[in-house]
Structure formats: structure tokens, C-alpha cells
Amino acid sequence: MSGPSTGADGDANDRARYDQARYVEGDQYEPLLSEKDLTRVEIDDEDDDSPLPDDLTRDSVELPELSEPELVRHYTRLSQMIYGIDSGPYPLGSCTMKYNPKFTEDVAALSSGAVHPDRSESSVQGTLELMYRLQDYLGRIGGMDAVTLQPPAGAAGEFVGIRIAAAYHEHNGEGHRDEVIVPESAHGTNFATAALGGYDVVSLPSNDEGRVDLEALEAALSEDTAALMLTNPNTLGLFERDIEEIAEMVHDVGGLLYYDGANLNALLGRARPGDMGFDVMHYNVHKTFATPHGGGGPGAGPVGVVDELAPFLPAPRVRAGDGDAGYELFDPDHTIGKVHGYQGNWLVLVKTFAYIARLGDEGLLDASAKAVLNANYLANRIDYEVPYEPFHHEFVASAGEQDAADVAKRMLDYGVHPPTTKWPEIVPEALMTEPTEVESKDTLDRLAAAFNAVAEDDDETLEAAPERTTARRIDQTSAARSPRLSWQALGEDES
């Protein structure tokens, strides 16, 4: 029997070894804060210092009360039990895990930018100028006429797009349009966003080449079509070569064409959604413009539109006033209103601006070049089959007879983050891989070696993986069957 450690050590000594940090205390890893201390603080108006009567206050609060050194060790240990892009390659397809330049944290931390959203416009000219200039940058990059920075994430940007489509059709006396068309292989958010907007979702199958099936599109389009949501390159990394015809078909029935910006990194400087006939798009700045993902967020999902849709953008927008008037906020004539309480994720927008200003034309063009070069090189080096070509910034390999989720778990043992798995479903046992431009040839070679080592592993080894990570394989069924979502629930369960 091949022990579970055989593969990870490998036959050759030159293969990288990896052991993730792991603090262990009995039947757990780093204990919860609540297991280190729980202190109950009573609130009572008998006390001299309670400023409110008891009927306006709670009785007590029970939380951990720990010293700063204890807390710093707790969080430092926890951070060591996390794999980030700064730890190693992170080729999650569709997620564009780029290196996040350190200096952008410094500019986001500038105290001059830390202002309250209700400040007078004249007293926050710097903030408004940065927003104005970022809108301009994004408009140029996407080929769009007007941009809002308000949506706090990609899905929120999609929602703005869908609400703009609704307002636009309503404005034109076409409020009856109740369908949004989404390709089968699209991001889940497209479906969910269209549904949140109240639309019926029409799912569009792909053709044999993995692209939009024009006949199916023709059949799906009608006077009920509000919009078609499209990612280009699509989730297989393929450019929708018929994009001009698709745009014409959608526009012919009076629909709008929405661009999901998740894969924009592939096209930087080489093609622009606005030039392809898209009417509205979102930018995932946490993907394309390298702002950190922070374990799930915050991101930002600015939305760009063509002139005709600008009057429907969220309020307020920023514009340069006449002469010396400076920058000012205004509400577009037919605005859909707001999708965030204020102006979105400001700190993320500062980092976005800094990244674009740092790279400029040459840097952005180089990013797409190397993102596509890296994806092609990596695909060429791995033993798994890649059924659809020619892909750009990402490719979808098939794990074949292996279970893609197991492949991912095993890859963790080689000190690399695995690709996105089992999606898009058009490829059996999908390994959706996006190395991005930031990986060196050496790193790609090591990443390929990890893929190829796992490709040789037997099922037993795969099912036992991972073994070198902080936690071993986690029981998902147990987590869902008896949800324990707080330390309070844990107490009940374990007592």
C-alpha cells in the first residue's frame, strides 16, 4: 500500500516540500477566543456609572476579555493557518488571484482620504477628484462613456446593470420585457442577479466549440428580451468570436448587451467591451486591478455604460464643474437610485486607482500578454487534457477519471492552491485554471509538477488528501447536517 505521504515527498528530492502551520490543542487547532476567556459584564442602573435606565438597556454582555499580547498571538497564529497569494500560486479560474502590490495599502491608508461621506463637496475635492479620475480610467479601459464606482462587488455591479436595463426599457415604454438570457456556463451570480431583478432567466446552451450557439440565441431572443449577459472571454477562456453578430442580434430585438467583467484581465489593451457592442459592463477591480481579496471581500464592481444609458446610472455621480468650480456630485436624470448606502468601497477604489496609475498603458498591455502566455504555457506543461481551445487567460482541463475535487485536495499537499473545480460543467471533472501574469516560469513549472504528480496518484491517495495542510479533509456533510454556526451553538452541542 502506498502511504499517503509517498506522493507529496515525491521520488526526487528537488520537488518542493510543504507543511502548513498547525497549532494543535487536544481535539482542536488554535482554540476559539471564547475558549480562552468569557467574561460577563453586567449593565445595571444601580451602578453609578450607567447613564441609562434599565428599561433601555440589556442586562449583560458576555465576550472574551483578553490582553493585547494574547490577542496578537491568537490572530498571528490564525494568519499562519491560511494560504494566500503571498504564500504561493493561486490559480483559481475565474477569480484572477493576482499579486496585490504592497504600496496600494499605503495609499489607501492615507489619513487625508479618511473622510466622512456626509462632508460638503467643497471640503472633499481630493476624494471627488480621485473618483472622477478613476471613472475616466475605467471608461477608457472598457471603452465605455460613463462609469459609476458605487457597486461594492461584481454581483452588485451586475445588479446595477440589470436595474439600468429595467429602467431603460420602462423609460421607453417597454416595461413588458421580462427575460434575461444567460449562457449555461456563466457565473452563478448572473442567474441570481437576473432573478433578484425580477427577471425570468433563459439559459443558453453552448455550441460544440464551447461558445454561444447562435441558433439557440436566435431562438431565445424575442421582444421579451431585456438583456443578454455575457462573459468574454467566456468561462472556458474562449473569445466569443461572433461577438459583433451577437450584439447585432440582441440589439435587433431591442435588448441590451451586458458584459460580465470577470475575465477582463485577458483583454487589457487588446479589446474593449464598448468596441464589441456591449452597452453596459461591470469591472471586477479585485480581479483585473489587483486589489486584495481579503478572504472573500471587499471588492468593488464599478459599472460602465454607453451614453444612452448614462442618465440611468446610480446617484450621485461625480463630474468636473465649469471653470474653477471643482468637482461636484449630481443625480443623473433618470437614475435608478442607490445600491449602496454611500459611494461603495472607497478603500478598494483608492487601491484600484493606484494600480492603474502605476501600470499605465504599457503595464496593462503587458498584464494581458503575460496572463495569456502563462495560461498557455501551464496548459502545455500539464498531463491533464484541455478540451477547448484557443483559450486566453484561463483554461479548463479535465481530471478525466479522477474526481476533480479530490485532485484539488491533493494539490494542496504540494504547497500550491488548486484550480476552481467541477465548473463549468461543460467539461467533465473540470479544473478551471488561471495562473495570471504574476507567476514566473519557475513557479509555473512547479505548479505543473504538482498537477502532474497528482495525475499519477491513485484514488486511495486522492481520497486521503490533504495531509500537509493545517486541517485534514473536512466533513462537509456533518457541517451542513448539524449546523454549528457560533461558539454558543458549539457549547450546546458539545455539552
Shortest CA distance to 460 belongs to which of 403, 420, 421? 403
C-alpha cell belonging to residue 17? 516540500
- Using CB under 8 A as the binding rule, whether residue 171 contacts another protein is answered as no
Residues that bind another protein (rule: CB under 8 A) add up to a total of 200
Given 3, 6, 9, 115, the residue binding another protein (CB under 8 A)? 115
Pair type for strands 225-231 and 179-183 = parallel
* 320: DSSP letter: E
The smaller minimum CB distance to another protein, of residues 13 and 144, is found at: 144
- Stretches 8-16, 99-107, 248-256, 453-461: which one binds another protein (CB under 8 A)? 99-107
- Using CB under 8 A as the binding rule, whether residue 289 contacts another protein is answered as no
- Using CB under 8 A as the binding rule, whether residue 145 contacts another protein is answered as no
For residue 434, the minimal CB distance to another protein (Å) is 12
Strand order of the sheet with strand 303-305?
146-148, 303-305, 280-282, 256-260, 225-231, 179-183, 200-204
Given 62, 215, 223, 248, the residue binding another protein (CB under 8 A)? 62
Q: Please, is 481 exposed, middle or buried when counting C-beta atoms within 10 Å of its C-beta (0-12, 13-18, 19+)?
A: exposed
Given 148, 235, 376, 402, the residue binding another protein (CB under 8 A)? 376
User: Residues near 217 by Cβ (< 8 Å), separated by ≥ 6?
Assistant: 181, 204, 228, 246, 249
Given 12, 307, 323, 476, the residue binding another protein (CB under 8 A)? 476
Given 3, 175, 188, 428, the residue binding another protein (CB under 8 A)? 188
- Using CB under 8 A as the binding rule, whether residue 290 contacts another protein is answered as yes
Given 9, 19, 209, 275, the residue binding another protein (CB under 8 A)? 275
Please report how many Cα atoms fall inside a 13 Å half-sphere around the Cα of residue 10, on the Cβ side.
20
- Using CB under 8 A as the binding rule, whether residue 83 contacts another protein is answered as yes
- Residue owning grid cell 433563459: 202
- Residue owning grid cell 442602573: 45
- Using CB under 8 A as the binding rule, whether residue 28 contacts another protein is answered as yes
| φ, ψ of residue 78 in degrees (nearest 5) | -60, -40
- Stretches 218-226, 303-311, 454-462, 465-473: which one binds another protein (CB under 8 A)? 465-473
What span, in angstroms and rounded, lies between the C-alpha atoms of 24 and 92?
A: 29
Give, in order, the Cα–Cα distances in Å from 382 to each of 10, 431, 472: 17, 11, 26
The smaller minimum CB distance to another protein, of residues 45 and 222, is found at: 45
- Using CB under 8 A as the binding rule, whether residue 103 contacts another protein is answered as yes
Q: Which helix (H) or strand (E) holds 431?
A: strand 430-433
What span, in angstroms and rounded, lies between the C-alpha atoms of 13 and 231?
A: 43
Residues 303-362 that bind another protein (CB under 8 A): 315, 336-348, 350, 353-354, 356-362
- Using CB under 8 A as the binding rule, whether residue 457 contacts another protein is answered as no
For residue 292, the minimal CB distance to another protein (Å) is 5
* 405: DSSP letter: H
- Using CB under 8 A as the binding rule, whether residue 127 contacts another protein is answered as yes
Shortest CA distance to 137 belongs to which of 329, 307, 268? 268
The smaller minimum CB distance to another protein, of residues 363 and 387, is found at: 363
- Using CB under 8 A as the binding rule, whether residue 107 contacts another protein is answered as yes
Q: Please, is 225 exposed, middle or buried when counting C-beta atoms within 10 Å of its C-beta (0-12, 13-18, 19+)?
A: buried
Given 11, 14, 59, 252, the residue binding another protein (CB under 8 A)? 59
- Using CB under 8 A as the binding rule, whether residue 51 contacts another protein is answered as yes
Residues 386-415 that bind another protein (CB under 8 A): 390, 392, 408-409, 412
Pair type for strands 60-63 and 39-42 = antiparallel
Given 7, 90, 179, 260, the residue binding another protein (CB under 8 A)? 90
- Using CB under 8 A as the binding rule, whether residue 253 contacts another protein is answered as no
- Stretches 7-15, 65-73, 222-230, 251-259: which one binds another protein (CB under 8 A)? 65-73
- Stretches 5-13, 218-226, 288-296, 427-435: which one binds another protein (CB under 8 A)? 288-296
- Using CB under 8 A as the binding rule, whether residue 16 contacts another protein is answered as no
The smaller minimum CB distance to another protein, of residues 216 and 284, is found at: 284
For residues 204 and 182, is the Cβ–Cβ distance under 8 A?
Answer: yes
CA angle, 331 as apex, 326 and 337 as ends, to 5°? Answer: 140
- Using CB under 8 A as the binding rule, whether residue 483 contacts another protein is answered as yes
Residues 417-456 that bind another protein (CB under 8 A): 417-418, 420, 423, 437-441
**Dmax over Cα atoms in the chain, in whole Å?**
79
The smaller minimum CB distance to another protein, of residues 4 and 255, is found at: 4
Cis amide leading into 466 (omega within 30):
yes
- Using CB under 8 A as the binding rule, whether residue 205 contacts another protein is answered as no
